[in-house]
Structure 1
């Protein structure tokens, strides 16, 4: 089968890898308009469920991704930089650029033709392709040209946000909410590479305008954010430029398509669907799409039937995740409804923003604010991480370095 993937993000590259692993006879080309290494943003977060998928599908790239990732433990939620509350658990983060480099090298190793600086403006260029996989992100130009055929609906979230870096290394996933005379503004931060953390700033539109971010230049805006978050930054700097491109304020793009297939085209990843970044599930869903589509292409003799099943089953599986993401986004768009509470109660409201909580959960939350209970939970998580790593077959060297 001749397959063309438009977009060299996680979805397109991992589809190419997954399809090649299942049938080396596929002739696969990945088309990317940007040069190698050009990517927006800093780190992405994920959890053990993604590692399970990666190791089961392609151990070679899974080992490299895990080695390039950082482990973070616990989440801390802060009001005014002084009132703190905690959530147990752990996760992983990796800079987007090295992740894409790993996937690109693995795809090429398997015989995929990856072409950078090649814009897919005219699909007639790929008239001999059996399948065109549209994986060029939430703002997909290819999908936009066929918006009626896909039944595309694109909406914008209300809150402005900006994706930055900082040279302060956070060892926890950190939320900090600061009150200014113009309203509340907050950040989500987590370690993403050696010496660098991802730092996403968000606020309501009225606060954003009152603070002047709609008028300030890049340098002035950065200085203002460093002043607002001076206490949690501890004197460290914010970093705007990622791979030479300065960050800009934007609003989350919600993408929904009635169908992901048209003719010999199929949408995957953010081109097909988006979930708000406060869930941290975009990369995981892109990888799941890629694995699922590759498996359908192997299992079905007819490509049309494979695409039909992928479309129907993918839509059904995604309904809960998208509903949860919309609810999470709405909570952060109305954060000021909860900021009159102390940090412990605010944190509890935030943690339950997209699911119903049984009455006993609040008592459990209160218990986990005590230092000894948090230490016990950390020890339990060490054992859990080790058991899950062993089950999925991580190397002994990796197991030896992940028990802390």
Structure 2
């Protein structure tokens, strides 16, 4: 089978890996418009469920991702200049550039033809392909070109946001809120290696305009934000990836859905097919799950149209709950100015429970404010992760799909080592 993936992000690369592992004789090409090693974005987050899935489907890339990931086991809320409020939680983060490096190398090792600096203008360029996977992002050219068939719907959020990096290392996943004369701003920050953190700044449109961000250049924007968040950055810098490329790109988040995910032999995947608000940190997870889903359906069905219908049905069903949670989360952050008069404990719990929460979560939340109890809970979570990934017990996802690892050896997943690259 001749397969072309338009877009060299996590979705396209991971799908190419799985498709090549399933059928080594497939002719698979990934075309990416950016040069090798160039990507927009900083660190991405994921959780144990994705790590387990990675180990089940391709041990080699999963091991590298695990070893390159930083781990955080706290979330903190800072507001009104008061002490941090702890809201629990744990997860992993990895630099997007590092993730793509791992997946690209693995794909090439398996025989995938990864072509950088190639702009695919239309699927018609690949008339000899049996399957074209459009994983070309939020502003997908393929989706736009075939909009009549896919019937996309794009909804823009009200808030402005900007995705930055900082050399302030946030060991906890941190939410920090600051009031200015023009209104409230806040950031979501987390480290993804030993030296760098992602810092996503968000604010209402009125605040953004009142602070003059619509007229400031990149350097002026960063200096102003550093001044607003000086308490949290502690003298460290913010930086972007567009030096010399004009105004700093403040965005409105786009929620994308499509009436159909396939047209003929073209399938949408990742952000081209759907998006979920960045405040729940699931974009990369969903892209990779799409890749796993499509690769699985192609193994189950010899007929491509049947496989594409089954892929869409399965992935749509699995997205429903998460998309609902993403909308709730986005709406909560759009209502921050109306919520900040609450006590810090109430405000932080509202943030924690913005996607819904079980009745027992509030007592647990109160317990995490006690340093001793918080330490105990963290130890229990760490022990649980060790049992799953680092103990002498063989975790359930250690054996690779498709009969690997080779030579009959049974392997287990190593624990993620926080802060390694």
Q: Tell me the TM-score normalised to structure 2 length.
A: 0.92
CA displacement, residues 162-196 of structure 1 (integer Å, 9 cap, x when unaligned): 11111111110000001111111000100012211
Partner of residue 212, structure 1: 212
Partner of residue 233, structure 2: 233
CA contact (8 A) 1:81 1:232 kept: no
The residue correspondences of 1:125-140 to structure 2 (distance < 5 A) are: 125-140=125-140
Distance 1:242 1:210, change over 3 A: closer
CA deviation after TM superposition for structure 1 residue 398, in Å:
3.6
CA deviation after TM superposition for structure 1 residue 237, in Å:
0.9
Partner of residue 157, structure 2: 157
CA displacement, residues 334-373 of structure 1 (integer Å, 9 cap, x when unaligned): 1112111222211110111111542x43222112111011
CA deviation after TM superposition for structure 1 residue 3, in Å:
0.4
Q: Tell me the TM-score normalised to structure 1 length.
A: 0.96
1:348 matches 2:349 = yes
Question: Matches of 1:367 and 1:127 in 2, distance apart?
Answer: 61
Question: Matches of 1:335 and 1:218 in 2, distance apart?
Answer: 26
CA deviation after TM superposition for structure 1 residue 396, in Å:
7.4
Question: Matches of 2:81 and 2:132 in 1, distance apart?
Answer: 49
CA contact (8 A) 2:122 2:145 kept: no
Aligned pairs, number: 401
CA deviation after TM superposition for structure 1 residue 286, in Å:
0.6
Partner of residue 15, structure 1: 15
CA deviation after TM superposition for structure 1 residue 379, in Å:
0.6
CA contact (8 A) 1:189 1:197 kept: yes
CA displacement, residues 242-286 of structure 1 (integer Å, 9 cap, x when unaligned): 798685211111110011010110001110000001011110111
Partner of residue 221, structure 1: 221
SS in 2 for 1:373: helix
SS in 2 for 1:251: coil
CA contact (8 A) 1:28 1:113 kept: yes
The residue correspondences of 1:2-401 to structure 2 (distance < 5 A) are: 2-241=2-241, 247-358=248-359, 360-390=360-390, 391=395, 392-393=397-398, 398-399=414-415
Question: Matches of 2:337 and 2:387 in 1, distance apart?
Answer: 41
Question: Matches of 1:173 and 1:140 in 2, distance apart?
Answer: 31
CA displacement, residues 378-399 of structure 1 (integer Å, 9 cap, x when unaligned): 1101101111214244977944
Structure 2 residues not aligned, in runs of 5+: 400-410
Distance 1:268 1:183, change over 3 A: same
Distance 1:290 1:401, change over 3 A: closer
CA contact (8 A) 1:44 1:283 kept: yes
CA contact (8 A) 1:296 1:309 kept: yes
CA contact (8 A) 1:175 1:186 kept: yes
Higher strand share: 1
